[in-house]
Amino acid sequence: MAPAASRLRAEAGLGALPRRALAQYLRVLQLYPVLTKAATSGILSALGNFLAQMIKKWKKENCSQKLDVGGPLRYAIYGFFFTGPLSHFFYLFMEHWIPPEVPWAGLKRLLLDRLLFAPAFLLLFFLVMSFLEGGDAAAGAAKVRSAFWPALQMNWRVWTPVQFINVNYVPIQFRVLFANLVALFWYAYLASLGK
C-alpha cells in the first residue's frame, strides 16, 4: 500500500506544481512589481526571438544554419530594461489618467495606446535593437525608414483587439504579463523583419 500512497502524493505534487508556481509568481509580483514584469518581459522576449529563429530554420531546406545566440540575448535585454518597466508605468499612467468611470474610457484608453504608445514604443524598439546589434545612428535611422511603417501597420492590426481586451478587461497587475504572452508571437514577427 505504501507505493500506491507514494504515487498518489507524487501525482498530487505534479498537479500542485502549476498552482505553486502561480502562487509564487503572484507573491513576487506583489512584492516587486516592476522587477517581476521586467524579468517576465525579458524571458518571454528572448523566447519569442528564439522561436522566430527556429521557425526560420525549419522553413529553410538547409537546416544546418546555426542559431544566433545574440538574438535572444538582445531581446532579453530589450524586454528587461524597456518592455517590462515602460509597460508597467504606462498602464499605471493610463489607469490614473483615464479611470474606468470616465465616459468612453475603454475607447480613450485604446486610442491612447494605439496612437501614442504603440508608435513611440515601436520606434524605440528599432533604435535600441539597432544599437544592440552594433549599428550606429545611421543604421538605426535606415532601419526605421525601411521597417517602421509596415511594422506599425501590422502592430495596429494585431495589437488593437489585444489591447482593447488588455486595457479594459485584464486586471492592471496582469496587463504586462498578458501583453507579454501575445508579444511572444509579435517578437517572432519583428525578428522576421530583421536580418
Q: How confident is the model at residue 85 (pLDDT cuts 50, 70, 90)?
A: very high
pLDDT of residue 9: 53
Q: How confident is the model at residue 80 (pLDDT cuts 50, 70, 90)?
A: very high
Query: Region 147-158: what's the mean pLDDT?
Result: 93
Q: How confident is the model at residue 3 (pLDDT cuts 50, 70, 90)?
A: low
Lowest mean per-residue pLDDT among 31-40, 62-71, 103-112, 152-161: 62-71
Lowest mean per-residue pLDDT among 2-6, 49-53, 56-60, 80-84: 2-6
* Alpha-carbon distances, residue 169 vs 110, 135, 165, 185 (angstroms): 12, 40, 5, 21
Displacement of CA 151 from its chain's centroid (Å) = 15
pTM for the full predicted model: 0.84
Q: What is the 3-state secondary structure (H, E, C) of the chain?
A: CHHHHHHHHHHHHHHHHHHHHHHHHHHHHHHCHHHHHHHHHHHHHHHHHHHHHHHHHHHCCCCCCCCCCHHHHHHHHHHHHHHHHHHHHHHHHHHHHCCCCCCCHHHHHHHHHHHHHHHHHHHHHHHHHHHHCCCCHHHHHHHHHHHHHHHHHHHHHHHHHHHHHHHHHCCHHHHHHHHHHHHHHHHHHHHHHCC
pLDDT of 25 over the 50 cut = yes
Q: How confident is the model at residue 8 (pLDDT cuts 50, 70, 90)?
A: very low
Domain limits of the chain? 1-31, 33-194
